[in-house]
């Protein structure tokens, strides 16, 4: 299929958690459509390997090593990207984790970690990227939600709560930032399995 209808030449995309799984596939797809990539991760070895794989395909890709659960780190990283790499036209909030346990046994630590990574982090990254997009009156944000934002399933209470939250965050930001010409959408994939 021709990518002419999806030509992203001249656009820069930031993908959080982009070294594997859905994130890597999205990064690869955006790169094949012509976008320049900034791939985020917190594991330097995985990030280096990911960038090498993308560049080997002729994709313009740069790594951004920061933890999406660290607000100050996010703020500094986004400012660095905007200043030294270029304006972020597209943000994909993909980074996420899951902790499985029956709700009655789920440790509070695990609950907090999932909510922080899967809900608070997308808000924070969107906030700091959004500040620049608002000034430019342009931008696209894609949040990776889940079927778990609509359905219940055993042992994933924290994950489902976080994904339900990001679904509503997507709707709210889409309404709030529409006057600034920023489009925000959510994707709701089912289970995805990948080899490490």
The pLDDT tens digits for 121-146 are 999 999 999 999 999 999 999 999 98
Phi, then psi, of 114 in degrees rounded to 5:
-65, -45
pLDDT at 6: 85
Q: Are 67 and 42 in contact (CB under 8 A)?
A: yes
In the predicted model, is pLDDT for residue 195 greater than 70? no
Structure tokens, 89: 């036209």
Q: Are 14 and 88 in contact (CB under 8 A)?
A: yes
Residue 147: pLDDT band (50, 70, 90) is confident
Residue 1: pLDDT band (50, 70, 90) is very low
Q: Are 61 and 77 in contact (CB under 8 A)?
A: no
Q: Dihedral of the CA atoms 66, 67, 71, 72 (nearest 10)?
A: -40
The phi-psi region of residue 86 (left if phi > 0; otherwise alpha if psi is between -120 and 50; otherwise beta) is left
Averaged pLDDT of the chain? 93
- Topology adopted by domain 6-187: Rossmann fold (3.40.50)
| Active-site residue, from 66, 128, 159, 177 | 159
Tell me if residue 128 is catalytic. Answer: no
Structural domain spans, the chain: 6-187
> What are the Cα distances from residue 128, in Å, to 23, 112, 159?
20, 22, 24
Q: Are 72 and 48 in contact (CB under 8 A)?
A: no
């Amino acid at each position: 299929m021709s990518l002419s209808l999806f030509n992203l030449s001249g656009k820069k995309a930031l993908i959080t958690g982009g070294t594997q799984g859905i994130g890597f596939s999205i990064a690869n797809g955006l790169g094949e459509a012509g976008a320049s990539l900034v791939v985020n991760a917190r594991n330097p070895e995985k990030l280096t390997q990911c960038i090498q794989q993308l560049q080997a395909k002729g994709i313009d890709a740069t790594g951004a090593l920061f933890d999406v659960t660290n607000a100050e780190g996010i703020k500094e990283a986004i400012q660095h990207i905007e200043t030294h790499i270029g304006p972020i036209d597209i943000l994909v909030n993909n980074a996420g984790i899951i902790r499985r346990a029956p709700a009655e046994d789920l440790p509070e630590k695990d609950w907090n970690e999932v909510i922080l990574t899967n809900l608070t982090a997308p808000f924070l990254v969107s906030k700091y990227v959004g500040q620049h997009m608002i000034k430019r009156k342009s931008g696209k944000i894609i949040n990776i939600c889940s079927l778990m934002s609509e359905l219940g399933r055993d042992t994933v209470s924290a994950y489902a709560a976080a994904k339900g939250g990001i679904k509503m965050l997507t709707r709210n930001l889409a309404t709030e930032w529409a006057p600034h010409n920023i489009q925000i959408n959510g994707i709701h994939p089912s289970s995805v399995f990948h080899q490490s």
